[in-house]
Copies of this chain bind each other. A is one copy, B any other.
Amino acid sequence: MELNEVTISRAIVEEQTRILLDYLEMDAAIVGGGPSGLACAALLGERGVKCALIEKKLSIGGGMWGGGMMFPRIVVQEEARRLLDRFGITHREYAPGYFVASSVEAVAKLTAAACDAGVEFFNLTTVEDVMIKSDARVSGLVVNWTPVEMAGLHVDPLTLACACTIDATGHDAVVARMVEAKGAEIAVKGESFMWAERAETNIVGHTREIYPGLVVTGMAANAVAGESRMGPIFGGMLLSGERAAALVAEKLGK
């Protein structure tokens, strides 16, 4: 059989459009493909929640690729070691309670786990706004292609409906700030100074539904709470993603 370019094009367009049309309505949309978003997505998918991860950039992984100052290693503490094991991320004990892993492997394994759990990925997709109607809850995302925004073009967005949105956009807390900026009664305090111990301890507690339909996780949770930052230690991020998944699954009755 000779390969046909049109069939290749057709396969790609038809398959992806089928998925896009299917995901115009979903249970949960995770915004941001860093460690907490990926962990949350993988664990939600495992519970059978119909969910997608929406990532602004071309690649998935967020700020984890570069480790600390371009040394591509991350640190995870004892409490979260079980999640490294769960996702199959190799690690080495550097000092008692400090485990070091490859940042590249961490991204790859978390993403692979999410894929295996049936999560769909919409990369190069920017969230421009949210849908909030008379029930005063975030019930959808207004999305556009990232390159349209990068090129400064004026093109209308489309809307994805979702019962629950998870803001995993890091310390910018992009979705939370959007909701705040247009007048909803939430306040994003912004991340505080570096204090790893405190940031790691409190992040799970800050992982919560801050507005009907909108859950924050990872540094977005800490940024909303005005909590400290923690640098290239990722245990709290994974635990926060796990917590967000539990919260959302509970809300959805899964």
- Interface residues of A, Cβ cutoff 8 Å to B: 1-17, 20-21, 24-25, 57-75, 77-78, 88, 90, 92, 94-98, 100, 102, 104-105, 107-109, 111-112, 115-116, 120-124, 129-134, 140, 142-148, 150-151, 153-161, 182-183, 190, 192-198, 200, 229-233
Contacts and interface: CB of A to CB of B under 8 A. Distances in A.
B7 A130 contact: no
Contact of A123 (B60, B62, B72): B72
27 contacts: A3-B230, A5-B140, A5-B159, A5-B161, A6-B24, A8-B232, A9-B158, A11-B95, A12-B68, A14-B21, A15-B71, A16-B73, A17-B71, A59-B59, A59-B61, A59-B65, A60-B65, A60-B107, A69-B143, A69-B155, A69-B156, A70-B124, A70-B145, A108-B108, A147-B150, A158-B232, A159-B194
Copies, count: 8
Contacts of A161: 5-6
Contacts of A73: 11-12, 15-16
A194 B2 CA distance: 14
B100 A111 contact: no
Nearest to A146: B151
B16 A71 contact: yes
Contacts of A59: 57-61, 65, 107
Contacts of A194: 5, 129-132, 140, 142, 159
Contacts of A229: 129, 142
B108 A60 contact: yes
Nearest to A156: B232
